[in-house]
Amino acid sequence: MHVSQVANDFFSYDKKLQCLVGRESKKSIKKGDTVKAKIATVSLKDTIPNSKIALTMRPDGLGKKGTKGTPAGRGRRRK
């Protein structure tokens, strides 16, 4: 998945934390995180290794999930 398809935000790689961090949202995603994505396009070629599947996590309801099934960053607010 291309980094531009992670969310409606500009993501950059944080070497220290070893994760992608959103500029505006401050949401992060790292290797091993469980995410929900959808297939955007499929390009079938003569062989499977030459074929491509493009994924996206940009639409609402997709992306990294927080605890108890809520999207990350949208849980209960702290006082």
pLDDT of residue 46: 93
- SS3 percent helix, strand, coil of the chain, rounded to 5, is 10, 35, 55
DSSP secondary structure code for residue 19 in this structure: E
- Residue 66 pLDDT grade (very low, low, confident, very high; cuts 50, 70, 90): low
- Domains for the chain: give ranges and CATH numbers: 3-62 (2.40.50.140)
Residue 9 CA to residue 78 CA, distance in Å, equals 24
pTM, two decimals, is 0.59
Q: What is the pLDDT of residues 24-54, one digit of tens each?
A: 988 888 888 888 889 989 999 999 899 998 8
pLDDT of residue 77: 41
Average pLDDT, the chain: 79
Instruction: Tell whether the model's pLDDT for residue 58 goes beyond 60.
Output: yes
